[in-house]
Amino acid sequence: MGLDLNDPELEFADLVYAYQSWVMAVINDEKLGGEEKLLTDDIAEDALNAMRFLPGEVTSAIETSLARVYDVDADELADLLFPEE
C-alpha cells in the first residue's frame, strides 16, 4: 500500500505514523524478540519517504520516546535504525 506522497490528503500525522511504525517494528524485531517479524519492505520504504519531509527534531523525538517506552537504550536504538552510520 505505502505512502502516496502525491496525495493532497496526506497529512503530517501520516508521516509521523509511518516513521513510528518503522521504529516500533525495528524495536520489536531486534530487541523484543517478537516471534512474528513486523518489519517489511513497505514499512521501511514509507519511513524513508517520511524522513524526507519530517524535521530531524520530530524523528529524534519519536525515537527517544519509543526508546523510553520500550526500555531500549537510545544509542543502541540509533545503531539498529541506522547501522551504516
With contact defined as beta carbons under 8 Å apart, do 4 and 48 qualify?
no
Average pLDDT over residues 53-70: 95
Residue 21, Ramachandran bin (φ over 0: left; ψ between -120 and 50: alpha; else beta): alpha
Residue partners of 43: CB distance under 8 A and separation at least 6? 18, 21, 22, 25
Q: What is the pLDDT of residues 21-55, one digit of tens each?
A: 999 999 999 988 878 899 999 999 999 999 999 99
**In contact, 80 and 30? CB cutoff 8 Å:** yes
Q: How confident is the model at residue 76 (pLDDT cuts 50, 70, 90)?
A: very high
Confidence (pLDDT) at 22: 97
**What per-residue confidence (pLDDT) applies to 1?**
58
- Average pLDDT for the chain: 92
Residue keyed to cell 521501511: 44
Q: Which amino acid is at 68?
A: R
